[in-house]
Structure 1
Amino acid sequence: MEFVPPDTTTETTDLRSIVSNQTRDDEQTDYVMSELGTAGVDSAWELAAVDTDRVAEGSLLESQFINELLESVRDSIKGYLVTYTVVEAWRWRVADPPCADTPTEWPMFGGTQNNMRWGSLISPLETGETKWEFTTDDDVRSSPAVNGHLVLIGCDDGLVYGVNIVSGDTVWEYRPNTYVGKPVGRFRSSPTVTQSVLLLGRDAGELYALSSKSGSEQSKFKTENRIRTSPAVADGKVYIVGDSGKLHAKYIDRPDTYWTYHVGNKVRSSPAVSRDTVYFGCRDKHLYAIDAETGEEDWVLNTGAIVDSSPAVDGSHVYIGNDEGVIYSVDKQTGEVQWQYETGNTVTSSPAIVGNTVYYGNDDGNFYALNVDNGDEEWSQGFNSSVKIRYSPAIAEGFVFCANYDSLYALHPSTRDVVWSYSDHRIRSSPTVAHGTVFIGTEDGVSANKGVTGESDHLDV
């Protein structure tokens, strides 16, 4: 589906009109418009998509003024969100783009290649109505990916499924030629989609490339141990790491390895790619930053505990948790810790970042919201202290979707109210949000729960 931005010529969404409301005269407006152009920002949609640091680095504007302008712009365009979430679609264009040539709905574990975990809704529905359930013979611990009209699923039964997003019917089913069943045949790596290629790892230590449209096998790359992380893709290369303790970089369409970086232990942290750097955690207690082109080490941070949490990366910092219950904000260029927040319980949940807030779950059964600048706790929400929150949240249109083993919850972050919840089956994966629907793996398949009112990207989900 082609993305067409709304009309930007109206007074409400015209960038110059918005800027003029923040400046004292035409001369200052001209200056601000010139500086925004220097930073590569030519429309309200582009400005709403970028972060403060990106604009500040490319212009002479002060950060405080940029923040005020961003707030004004985002308020102005709220009523114009169509088809895809407009801000996200333009964010993909002007910041760190996803792996696909055009915006896909949720093409990988972290939603985008820097693991920010944003999804697409239009407006909230307060029921969480279940639209369909897809049944498998075993757990779905692989978080679904969404590409076009397909929900893509890896399963513990050793199969990969392409499911119609509207009906929940099977479109295709892939069974490896070397099907061996459990345990080594399980697909627990969450799928990544780039162009028309579906990438995911298997417990047998193989990275598969399948046609996302038909499920036919295109290639297979063998590593030395199981792969339970989600592949990351950038600039035509795929980055995959697993229990072998090696980060492999290879071209998607070639069998050979571009480079390999060795670490000291198993890796269950899915890599994030941002501005030519690959970030991931390791069970050797470290957070790594590796040059995406050369495979050389940029920096390494010792966190003091196992890091199974996957990093999320914004314009300036990397956010990640460890098994001692510490969430870190780390300068993405230097590896220096900006702040750390201690909960005292294991953090396996990967952070999600929206605006000035970092969201994540904890083994203490609570869901946390921290200030992105200083790590101060904004709020926490408890569900059941005996049920760990190890799944990673998803964010869409001001709503937070989080899950523990028992239930999926839709939260309103400003009130902390549970808008709706789903508990028909035990939860086994992190949620995915696309086409106005929340998809989640369960003990015996995938559930699709409606999260919007009205039309859902013209798919009638």
Structure 2
Amino acid sequence: MQLRARTFLFAIIGSVCLFSFSACKKDFSQDKPFAPVYTPTIYIGSQNQFLYAFDPANGQKKWEYFAGSNIHSSPLVMGDYVYVTSENGFIHKLDAKTGTLVKRIAVGGTLQSTPYGEMKGKDGNDYIYIGTGSSNSLIAYDVTADSVEWTFTTGDNVFSSPTIYDTLVVVGSNDGKVYGINKFTGVKGWEFQTGGPVISSPTVNAAGYVYVGSNDYNLYCLHVVDGTQKWQFATNGLVQSSPISYGGNAIFGSNDGNIYCVDTATAIARWKVKTSDRVNSSPTFWTKQDESSSVQVVLVGSYDYKMYAINILDGSIRWSFPTKAIITSSPLVFNDKVYFGSFDKYLYCARPDNGDLIWKQNINGLIECSPAVDNLNKKSIYTSSISGNSIY
């Protein structure tokens, strides 16, 4: 009788518990979790074999990627991916937001040339054009099809970074030549012989003129259609800085320590600014205009450890920012801030109007290359000013 009573009691308790759990069961939302929020990113490589991603507003590190070899060239942001080359002959394709490796592309040779990207090129595919050392070639790589489209061989290393104008890829070589190559076929359209290796990266303006420096101490202006010379401008040192074309001026540095501004119509110097050492950094420009004032400055680094801001109109120095080592990195301007690296292992962010420091980050490695930015516009391509433009 007692056993039967206990069984009956347990049955009642069990029913109550089941009823309680059923009554108290929550109906949870089937909504998906919030998607991650992504913000713009600054990328910089180093000779410590790492690529870093930083928040451009405050310098906070987002992620880092170990490439396994020194990084001499600037990153390329194209669509959802960032591409960086390493000295041992690989292009590393990474997820731009997370730094996750998508693919390592074996190109071969020594890679010091900054790649040039083209979205929706031939057949609607995305392409990378890159020069190689030791294998002495320019390569067109179809990143959509994951295959080499063509290879063009020069007579020496290609450390110059290519640029594109219409159907031509324009690039320099250590064989002393500047080449115009059909971007679809890899067939040479023209070549121009200088008197020394061409490490400077060419820029082409909207009027169809190529500006490029040579180790023969000259800056050249060429017709992009056929490679014929319009003029040359002599300096007193190697011209390895890559020029920019801005407002009818070609602006560039020389190993004679000067930053030059040359009238593109007459080949006459408008002004030059003397620094204390060679200038291999490539310039970029920043402008700001409001109701009360207008500022136009060119920004460029020097081996004298300083970043300079020079008034474009008259060549006067607006400010200079001292670091603790040489600057070969070309500055990047984004959202009214200027970013640049130094051999003192710091990435700097400063105000372009007065040079005041906003933040700096020690990445524990020499910074030879220039920063690139991802502003989350996936229809655009971003790289540094290495080939004469800050944004393509």
Q: TM-score, normalised by structure 1?
A: 0.65
The aligned counterpart of 1:420 is 359
CA contact (8 A) 2:340 2:347 kept: yes
2:60 is aligned, of 129, 133, 140, to 129
The 3-state SS of whatever aligns with 1:134 is: strand
> Deviation digits for residues 41-84 of structure 1, max 9, x if unmatched?
xxxxxxxxxxxxxxxxxxxxxxxxxxxxxxxxxxxxxxxxxx99
The aligned counterpart of 1:429 is 369
CA contact (8 A) 1:363 1:389 kept: yes
The aligned counterpart of 2:217 is 285
Structure number with higher helix proportion? 1
2:106 is aligned, of 162, 175, 186, to 175
Q: Distance in 1 between matches of 2:363 and 2:166?
A: 41
Q: Distance in 2 between matches of 1:371 and 1:436?
A: 31
Structure number with higher relative contact order (C-alpha < 8 Å, ≥ 6 residues apart): 1
**Structure 1 residue ranges without an equivalent (≥5):** 1-82, 86-104, 107-120, 180-184, 442-461
Instruction: Specify whether residues 232 and 124 from structure 1 end up closer, same or farther in structure 2 by C-alpha distance, changes over 3 A only.
Output: closer
2:327 is aligned, of 389, 394, 405, to 389
1:352 is aligned, of 284, 292, 312, to 284
Offset of 1:255 from its aligned partner? 3.0
- The number of residues matched between the two structures is 314
2:248 is aligned, of 316, 340, 356, to 316
Structure number with higher strand proportion? 2
Give the number of the structure whose alpha-carbon radius of gyration is greater: 2
Offset of 1:414 from its aligned partner? 3.2
Where do residues 168-317 of structure 1 align in structure 2 (5 Å cutoff)?
168-176=99-107, 179=108, 185-195=109-119, 196-203=126-133, 204-213=135-144, 215-274=146-205, 275-317=207-249
The aligned counterpart of 2:340 is 402
Counterpart of 1:133, as a letter, is: E
Offset of 1:212 from its aligned partner? 2.9
After TM superposition, the runs of 4+ consecutive aligned structure 1 residues lying more than 6 A away are none
The 3-state SS of whatever aligns with 1:226 is: coil
Q: Distance in 1 between matches of 2:301 and 2:354?
A: 18
The aligned counterpart of 1:336 is 268
Q: Distance in 1 between matches of 2:383 and 2:265?
A: 34
Q: Identity across aligned pairs (percent)?
A: 27
CA contact (8 A) 2:286 2:352 kept: no
CA contact (8 A) 2:327 2:342 kept: yes
> Deviation digits for residues 404-439 of structure 1, max 9, x if unmatched?
0111100013342221112123123111122279x9
The aligned counterpart of 2:317 is 377
Offset of 1:162 from its aligned partner? 1.1
The 3-state SS of whatever aligns with 1:265 is: coil
> Deviation digits for residues 121-156 of structure 1, max 9, x if unmatched?
9x962x211111111111111101110001111110
User: What do you get for the CA RMSD once the two structures are aligned?
Assistant: 2.4
Offset of 1:187 from its aligned partner? 0.9
Q: Distance in 2 between matches of 1:168 and 1:213?
A: 19
Q: Distance in 1 between matches of 2:234 and 2:200?
A: 15
CA contact (8 A) 2:111 2:132 kept: yes
Instruction: Specify whether residues 239 and 440 from structure 1 end up closer, same or farther in structure 2 by C-alpha distance, changes over 3 A only.
Output: closer
Offset of 1:394 from its aligned partner? 0.4
CA contact (8 A) 1:193 1:212 kept: no
CA contact (8 A) 1:324 1:344 kept: no
Counterpart of 1:408, as a letter, is: L
Q: Distance in 2 between matches of 1:236 and 1:84?
A: 34
**Structure 2 residue ranges without an equivalent (≥5):** 1-37, 43-53, 120-125, 288-295, 385-392
The aligned counterpart of 1:411 is 350
Offset of 1:293 from its aligned partner? 0.4
> Deviation digits for residues 80-117 of structure 1, max 9, x if unmatched?
xxx999xxxxxxxxxxxxxxxxxxx99xxxxxxxxxxx
Where do residues 160-171 of structure 1 align in structure 2 (5 Å cutoff)?
160-171=91-102
CA contact (8 A) 2:76 2:383 kept: no
